[in-house]
Amino acid sequence: MKIHILIPTFNEAENILKICNELEKLNFVGVDHKVLVIDDGSPDQTAEIVTNRNFSKISVLRRTKKSGIGPSYLAGIKQAMTDKSTTHLVTMDADGSHQIIDLISLIDAAISMPNKVIIGSRWVSGGQITNWPKYRQLISKIGTWYASKMLRIDISDLTGGFRVYPINLIKKIDLGRISSNGYCFQIEMAFAIAHLKGAIIEVPITFVERRKGQSKMSNRIVLEAMFQVTRWGLARIFRPNADKLHYVK
């Protein structure tokens, strides 16, 4: 099993070394892992901080400007897929909200279920939230509820970004169809997996609110998610045959 861990960043200088140090030292039995930090031209020199440490398992993909988490992840996915030996992709945040101990649980699940998408979930039994404002919890819960109803996807944490994707499923997705810029990317990827009839398993995690730096969440990101989910949901209802193969190569 060979995994690429994708970490998008923008102005995460205060957080990036902690997660990189932990991932550099990580030792999965029977699993080879590499880490790709995808930086959107951070003015705080996030990319330089990582590059200057000369990590053996961590590389940096430099992008020229901030374009959103969706395009960043897509660039990282395409870069990781140039390594033909890659079997799985992991997506996780750079701000410390996703814990290494939970990453191990997700990888363990992927080892036992190698053809399924594994999602780290805050809202299943055993999942927890630490230091997250109530309004953010409400946005996440409402967003997941609305998206699951509109798109008919039975997942408790559709907006969560801590995931393991089998590369064989990713290769079947027409990535050029993925259009989300913000955190709606997580919903759209789950929707694309549903088009492929791929199985998704949720594993409980403890989500910890960032202690340093600024959140990238904004009203614009929330509105994008509401608009896109509504558009996809209506297309599913009124154009079911046209929508059926939308994301499938």
Contact 133, 208 (CB under 8 A): no
Name the residue with higher pLDDT: 105 or 131.
Answer: 105
Work out the mean pLDDT of the chain and round it to a whole number: 93
For 136-169, what is each residue's pLDDT tens digit? 888 888 989 999 999 999 999 999 999 999 999 9
- What pLDDT is attached to residue 134? 87
- What pLDDT is attached to residue 62? 97
Distance CA 182, CA 224 (A): 7
Does residue 8 surpass a pLDDT of 90? yes
Distance CA 149, CA 191 (A): 12
- What pLDDT is attached to residue 244? 62
Residue 138 CB contacts under 8 Å (≥ 6 apart), including other chains: none
For 53-72, what is each residue's pLDDT tens digit? 999 999 999 999 888 999 99
Q: Using CA of residue 249, residue 183, residue 148, residue 76, what is the dihedral sign? A: positive
Mean pLDDT in residue range 217-242:
85
* Token pair for 7: 């970490």
Residue 115 CB contacts under 8 Å (≥ 6 apart), including other chains: 166, 168, 169, 199
For 185-229, what is each residue's pLDDT tens digit? 999 999 999 888 889 999 999 999 888 888 777 788 889 999 999
For 15-31, what is each residue's pLDDT tens digit? 999 999 999 999 888 89
Name the residue with higher pLDDT: 242 or 231.
Answer: 231
Does residue 249 surpass a pLDDT of 90? no
Contact 210, 95 (CB under 8 A): yes
**Residue 237's beta-bridge partner residues?**
none
Count Cβ atoms within 10 A of the Cβ of residue 172 and give its class: 0-12 exposed, 13-18 middle, 19 or more buried.
middle
- What pLDDT is attached to residue 110? 97
Neighbour count for residue 72 (Cβ, 10 Å): 23
- Taking the model in full, what pTM does it have? 0.94
Kindly list the distances between the CA atom of residue 6 and the CA atoms of 39, 71, 88, 96, in Å, as whole numbers in the listed order.
Answer: 11, 12, 11, 14
Mean pLDDT in residue range 87-114:
96
| Alpha-carbon 225 to chain mean position | 15
Does residue 245 surpass a pLDDT of 80? no
- What pLDDT is attached to residue 242? 63
Of residues 57, 93, 62, the one with CA closest to residue 75: 62
Distance CA 161, CA 183 (A): 8
* Token pair for 246: 């939308």
- What pLDDT is attached to residue 217? 75
